[in-house]
Amino acid sequence: MINRRDFLLKMSLATTGVALGFSGLQQRAYALSMDETFATMRAEGFGGLIPTPTENTGEVFLALPKGFKYKVLGKAGTLMSDGNKTPPLHDGMACFKVGNELRLIRNHEVSNGEIPHANAAIGIHPYDDTTSGGVTTLVINPKTLEVIRDFVSLSGTLINCAGGRTPWGSWISCEETTLGQGLRPSSLSKQKGGYPKSHGYCFEVDASANSTVTPVPLKAMGRFRHEAVAVDKHSGVLYLTEDHVTAGFYRFLSKRPKHLKEGGTLQMLAVKGKGPFDTRQGLKVGQQFATTWVTIDDPDPIAADLDESAVYKQGLAKGGATFSRLEGAYADKQGQIYFVSTSGGDNKGGQIWRYERQGKLNGLLTLVFESPSRDVLDMPDNICIKPKTDLLFICEDSDYASGGGTADNYIRVLAPNGKMADFAKNVTAGFESTEFAGSTFSEDGRILFVNLQGVGATFAIWGDWSAFKS
């Protein structure tokens, strides 16, 4: 049995200095030590979850708290306004207000077996006509939450997983692969790759665009298994995550603010005095680390064709820190960057990190939360903070039951006191294990938009957001 006094001493030391906003971590540790259950780590949230039909079709996809309602939008396979069918595998997403409209800019994580297919592009002006990933835009009436029109806004990209919104009104869509012209071995003695163009880049889509944009790969932002982007509006610095078992946390310093096509410098986070520090296991919630940045000399290496860790290895050689599968990232109003390690932690159930900039080169890295049990948090993915609150909404991607995870997927909410609540559960018949993705609030905080990837559906959720109890 845990020694209560030793436990409290360790946790007190670990949580010293945790910034206001998640200052309840120490109290949570105390409560856990008293009864040694995980019940004390749960918040009441918005209440129990009830299977709920949509307001517009009557289908049941989600279990939500009493009083919350939702509509289903932009389902895979439905015909869009531009004559194209809605692609499947909805993933990262952001909501913008453009004039009197709401606009959802939405990724599609389509791979087509990771081999080229002739004329596969989902729309005009493709970057690579042999790939069928990309981005769609949904223009939504903010009063009725109905789609006014929808269309392909980025075509010919590959495995568009997550990304991030910028303060200047654009969406950065990221490719989660480094496949290119080279051929790699794959399962069943097959090969993957062989594309006419290299992949593994970020692409920018203007939220106000009314048709498919001309794709420009932002090569200076690195060629690796990109996941998410978060932009500090105060400094203009872009932070990037990498979804790999050995991953780096990066930042991009553009030559000219808001003009990413003009290039810049890519750097990887390093922990001061720790050498190539491994953050994946053996840490305590509340631990903090002084950090700096090391420059990636070749952000677009040809070696990435065959080695998806080619960029990461450059940073590692200079003392960069290693994380496990970095996915969602989000910048709060102070410019602090929250990001998740999907399989980090002692039970591989996930970690939530916060990075705080301290001058041009230095920073502070804090382990805000680590899953103590897969029933509390199981493999976090996309995240967002509800406007005008400190509530962090977390999409789960817990479809890895064979790896110790659960079969269910939730949207969880991390409260400022460090407790976790359930907000939504995927109860779609036959698709219960598919992940939530793309969580994003309207700018006024009234509507939460989110996707169920395997279902290929986007949801608009609303209710009494003031009812949260921690």
DSSP 8-state class, residue 247: B
pLDDT at position 399: 66
How far apart CA 230 and CA 354 sit, in angstroms, is: 12
The helix-helix angle for 25-35 and 4-15 (nearest 10°) equals 170
The identity of residue 381, as a single letter, is: D
pLDDT at position 400: 65
Contact 269, 247 (CB under 8 A): no
For 6, half-sphere exposure in the C-beta direction (CA atoms, 13 angstrom radius) is 3
pLDDT at position 403: 72
The two structure tokens encoding residue 84: 């194209």
CATH architecture of 42-467: 6 Propeller (2.120)
Q: Mean pLDDT per 10-residue run, the chain (470 residues)? A: 33 37 48 54 96 98 98 98 98 98 98 96 98 98 98 98 98 98 88 97 98 98 98 98 98 97 98 97 97 98 98 98 98 97 96 97 97 94 97 90 82 95 97 96 98 98 97
Q: Which of 252, 255, 224, 229 is nearest to 240 (CA)?
A: 229
Q: Where in the chain is the domain with CATH 2.120.10.30?
A: 42-467
Contact 440, 447 (CB under 8 A): no
Lookup result for tokens 């039909």: 53
The two structure tokens encoding residue 218: 């932002």
Q: What are phi and psi of 438, to 5 degrees?
A: 75, 25
Q: Which sign does the torsion angle of CA 133, 139, 140, 146 carry?
A: negative
Contact 454, 426 (CB under 8 A): no
Burial class, 179, CB count within 10 angstroms (exposed 0-12 / middle 13-18 / buried 19+): buried
How far apart CA 227 and CA 356 sit, in angstroms, is: 20
Q: Which of 357, 292, 297, 350 is nearest to 320 (CA)?
A: 292
Q: Which of 397, 377, 390 is nearest to 336 (CA)?
A: 390
How far apart CA 145 and CA 179 sit, in angstroms, is: 38
Lookup result for tokens 């491994």: 278
How far apart CA 433 and CA 163 sit, in angstroms, is: 23
How far apart CA 437 and CA 411 sit, in angstroms, is: 9
The identity of residue 212, as a single letter, is: T
pLDDT at position 462: 98
Q: Which of 357, 231, 220 is nearest to 297 (CA)?
A: 220
DSSP 8-state class, residue 365: E
Lookup result for tokens 């003031």: 466
The two structure tokens encoding residue 57: 């079709």
How far apart CA 164 and CA 337 sit, in angstroms, is: 12
How far apart CA 403 and CA 349 sit, in angstroms, is: 10
pLDDT at position 368: 96
